[in-house]
Copies of this chain bind each other. A is one copy, B any other.
Amino acid sequence: MKSEIIAVGSEMLTPYRQDTNSLFLTEKLNELGVTVNFKTIVGDRRKDLVNAIRGALGRTDIVLIMGGLGPTEDDLTREAAADALSLTLKRDAPLVAALHARAASWRMTMPENNLKQADVIEGATVLTNPNGSAPGQWLDVTFEGYRKILALLPGPPSECKPLFETECLPRLRAAIPQRFIAKRTLKAAMIPESQADKLLAPIYQTYPDVETTILAHNGDIQLTLLCSKNNMEEAQQRVDELASRMEEALEDWLYSSDEESLEQIVLYYLGLRQATLATAESCTGGLVAQRITGIPGSSRSFVGGAVVYSNELKTAFAGVAPELIEKHGAVSEEVARALAEGIRARTGATIGLGVTGIAGPTGGTDDKPVGLVYIAVSDAQLTDVIKRNFRGPRQRVREWTAQQALDLVRRRLM
Q: A299: which of B215, B278, B310, B398 is its contact (CB, 8 Å)?
A: B310
**Which stretch (A37-45, A69-77, A320-328) binds chain B?**
A37-45
A15 to B40, CA, bound (A): 15
- Check B317–A309 contact: CB distance below 8 A: no
A307 to B347, CA, bound (A): 11
Q: Hey, what's the 0/1 contact readout for A1-31 against B, CB within 8 Å counting as 1?
A: 0000000000111111110100110110010
Within 8 A of B (CB), among A198-225: 213, 215, 222, 224
Q: Which of B41, B213, B298, B347 contacts A312 (CB 8 A)?
A: B347
Selected contact of A286 from candidates B38, B222, B278, B307, CB within 8 Å: B307
Question: Residue A395 contacts which of B294, B299, B302 (CB distance < 8 angstroms)?
Answer: B294
Asked if A87 is at the interface (CB within 8 A of a chain B CB), the reply is: no
Q: Which residues of B contact A39 (CB under 8 A)?
A: 12-13, 40-41
In the complex, the chain B residue whose C-beta lies closest to that of A402 is B290
Residue A289 at the chain B interface, CB threshold 8 Å: yes
* B-chain residues with CB within 8 Å of residue A278 when the two chains form the complex: 313
- For residue A149, which residues in chain B have a CB less than 8 angstroms away from its CB? none
CB of B285 within 8 A of CB of A289, answer: yes
Is A305 part of the contact surface with B, judged by Cβ < 8 Å? yes
Residues of A within 8 A of B (CB): 11-18, 20, 23-24, 26-27, 30, 35-43, 45, 48, 51-52, 55, 59, 213, 215, 222, 224, 278-279, 281, 283-290, 292-294, 296-299, 302-310, 312-313, 316-317, 346-348, 359-362, 394-395, 398
